[in-house]
C-alpha cells in the first residue's frame, strides 16, 4: 500500500496544495514566454484538455493559439476547428503563417454529434491540435473528452463561457481570459497540472477580428448518419 501511495504522490496529476512539483508531462510551448513562465516553463499540455474561459469571443483568444497553430501545420499535423462562433478567414490565417491545407473546420448538429466528432478528432493520428467551442458540457462529458485526449496525445483547447469556471473539470489546464485596456489579453491561471493556481500575466497582442469571418479553407457539416456514439 505504501508503495502505491508513493507512486500516486509522485504523479504530477495528483495535486498537493502544500507542495509545488515540476511536471514532466509532455507539453507544447504557447509561444508567449510570459505565459510559459507562469505554466512552469511548459505550455499547452499534450494528451490532456485545456480550457480557455472567457465572456465573449474576439478578445484575442485566437492570437493566443496562433503560434501553436502555425507550428502544427508546419509539421504537417491537422488543426481542427470544431463549432467556432465565426467562420475563420483563410487569407488572414495564411498571413499569420498557418498552413491552410492542414486546417479543417467542422460544424455539428447537436451535443451528441459534437462529442462523437471531437472524440474522433482527438484519437486520430493526423491530429496536432483541436480547437473546440462546446457550449454547455456536463462534467461526465468533459471526462469522456479527457480520456480521448489522453489516447491521442495531442493538444485540445476548449473555449468555454467564463461562468463555467465554477464547474469542476478534469482539464489539466484552465485559463481565464479577459481583455486588457491596452489591447492585450489578461490571463489568469485557474488550474494547472502539478502546481497551484493563481498566476497571472498580460500578453501584448492585437485583436484580429478578420481571422474569424467570411471564408474557410474547408468546412465539414454534420450530423453524421450511422455514427456510433
pLDDT tens per residue across span 1-16: 556 645 544 554 454 4
Question: Is 5 within the bounds of a domain?
Answer: no
Question: Is 2 within the bounds of a domain?
Answer: no
Cross-strand partners of 173: 50, 192
The CA-CA-CA angle for residues 26, 126, 41, to 5°, reads 20
Question: Is 13 within the bounds of a domain?
Answer: no
Check pLDDT > 70 for residue 49: yes
> Are 130 and 82 a contacting pair, CB within 8 Å?
yes
Q: What is the pLDDT of residues 155-209, one digit of tens each?
A: 999 999 998 888 888 899 999 999 887 768 999 999 987 665 567 778 876 544 4
Question: Is 226 within the bounds of a domain?
Answer: no
Question: Is 104 within the bounds of a domain?
Answer: yes
Q: Which of 34, 39, 93, 87 is nearest to 63 (CA)?
A: 93
Q: What is the CATH number of the domain that holds 67?
A: 3.40.50.300
For the chain, how many structural domains are there in total? Answer: 1
Question: Is 152 within the bounds of a domain?
Answer: yes
Range of the domain at 140: 26-221
- The HSE-up count of residue 159 (CA atoms within 13 Å, CB side) is 23
Cα distances from 123 to residues 64, 72, 110, 129, in angstroms, run: 24, 16, 20, 11
Q: How far apart are CA 43 and CA 65, in angstroms?
A: 11
pTM, whole model, 2 decimals? Answer: 0.80
Question: Is 18 within the bounds of a domain?
Answer: no
> Are 95 and 208 a contacting pair, CB within 8 Å?
no
Question: Is 17 within the bounds of a domain?
Answer: no
Q: What is the pLDDT of residues 121-132, one digit of tens each?
A: 999 999 999 999
Amino acid at each position: 500500500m505504501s508503495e502505491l501511495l508513493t507512486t500516486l504522490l509522485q504523479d504530477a496529476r495528483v495535486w498537493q496544495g502544500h507542495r509545488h512539483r515540476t511536471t514532466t508531462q509532455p507539453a507544447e510551448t504557447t509561444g508567449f514566454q510570459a505565459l510559459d513562465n507562469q505554466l512552469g516553463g511548459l505550455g499547452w499540455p499534450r494528451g490532456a484538455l485545456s480550457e480557455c474561459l472567457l465572456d465573449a469571443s474576439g478578445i484575442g483568444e485566437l492570437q493566443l493559439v496562433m503560434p501553436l497553430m502555425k507550428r502544427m501545420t508546419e509539421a504537417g499535423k491537422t488543426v481542427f476547428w470544431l463549432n467556432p462562433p465565426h467562420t475563420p478567414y483563410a487569407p488572414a490565417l495564411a498571413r499569420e503563417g498557418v498552413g491552410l491545407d492542414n486546417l479543417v473546420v467542422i460544424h455539428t448538429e447537436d451535443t451528441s454529434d459534437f462529442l462523437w466528432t471531437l472524440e474522433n478528432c482527438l484519437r486520430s493520428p493526423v491530429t496536432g491540435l483541436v480547437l473546440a467551442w462546446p457550449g454547455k458540457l456536463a462534467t461526465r462529458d468533459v471526462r469522456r473528452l479527457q480520456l480521448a485526449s489522453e489516447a491521442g496525445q495531442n493538444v485540445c483547447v476548449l473555449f468555454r463561457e467564463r461562468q463555467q469556471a465554477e464547474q469542476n473539470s478534469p482539464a489539466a489546464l484552465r485559463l481565464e481570459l479577459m481583455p486588457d485596456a491596452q489591447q492585450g489579453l489578461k490571463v489568469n491561471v485557474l488550474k494547472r497540472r502539478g502546481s497551484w493556481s493563481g498566476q497571472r500575466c498580460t500578453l501584448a497582442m492585437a485583436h484580429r477580428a478578420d481571422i474569424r469571418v467570411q471564408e474557410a479553407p474547408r468546412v465539414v457539416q454534420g450530423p453524421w448518419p450511422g455514427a456510433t456514439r
